[in-house]
Amino acid sequence: MIQNKEIPTTEQLGIVTPDMFGAIGDGVNDDTEAMIECLEYANRMGYKVEWHGKTIYLKSAVETHCPVIDTDVDFSGCTILMTGEN
């Protein structure tokens, strides 16, 4: 137990997660926009992106807007579903 110390948030540690931007990760709901926002923000801030054990569903705009990933990404245990549907 940590006493009299603040526990740093993930953002203070330089880590962001897609759910911070609205991603659900259940394989049913479209996570595209949240993933794009998360990756673009992480690129801009120099943060790492982490998310574990989720099913990421990328449905809309994958073919037309996929940001360059210019940061560390750790999606350990995740499944990524891409349909390319609009």
Q: What are the boundaries of each domain within the chain?
A: 15-82
The predicted-structure confidence for 49-78, as pLDDT tens digits, reads as follows 999 999 999 887 656 677 778 899 999 999
The predicted-structure confidence for 41-50, as pLDDT tens digits, reads as follows 999 999 999 9
pTM of the shown model: 0.81
Checking 24-27 for CB contacts under 8 A at 24+ apart, the result is 25/51, 25/54, 25/55, 25/56, 25/78, 26/54, 26/55, 26/57, 27/55, 27/56, 27/57, 27/79, 27/81
